[in-house]
Amino acid sequence: MSNKKAYVPTGTEWMEEDFGMSPAVRVGDMVWLSGVTVFPDEGQSLEDAIDTTFRKIEVILKDAGLDWNDVVDVTSFHVNIASQKELFLEVKSRYVTQKPYPSWTAVEVSGLWGPTIVAEIKVVASAA
């Protein structure tokens, strides 16, 4: 018997159907989110694209009964981190507002899943 529970908010069903993965999985009090990508749509600023990604993460957390205050660890992957650092910190401060803040590791990479993806954010949260 497995104690894993998947969270698949409306609009993210394609992850299971197309790729065989879940937007988030809970085991006990811990919830792991799959990476959520940052990709500016045509005409969208990088700041707006980052904010959109943080909102998508918020939706997945909410589906699991959590919020940004439950996040304990963040790992972000960036193509050209220097061009994103200031905006990431600015947008993050809109969502991550209470101490203790989560740990965070930011990694520069040469590429991500698709050519228009400029960053990806992976989150671990605790319901404890």
pLDDT digit string, tens, across residues 35-62: 999 999 889 999 999 999 999 999 999 9
Alpha helix segments (H runs only) across the chain: 13-19, 46-63, 85-95
Average pLDDT value over all residues in the chain: 95
Q: Binning pLDDT at 50, 70 and 90, where does residue 105 land?
A: very high
Domain coverage including residue 24:
4-126
Angstrom distance (rounded) from CA 128 to CA 123: 16
Angstrom distance (rounded) from CA 60 to CA 36: 10
Assess contact for 121 and 38: CB atoms under 8 A: yes
Indicate which CATH number applies to the domain containing 33.
3.30.1330.40
Higher-scoring residue by pLDDT: 15, 102: 102
Tally the domains of the chain: 1
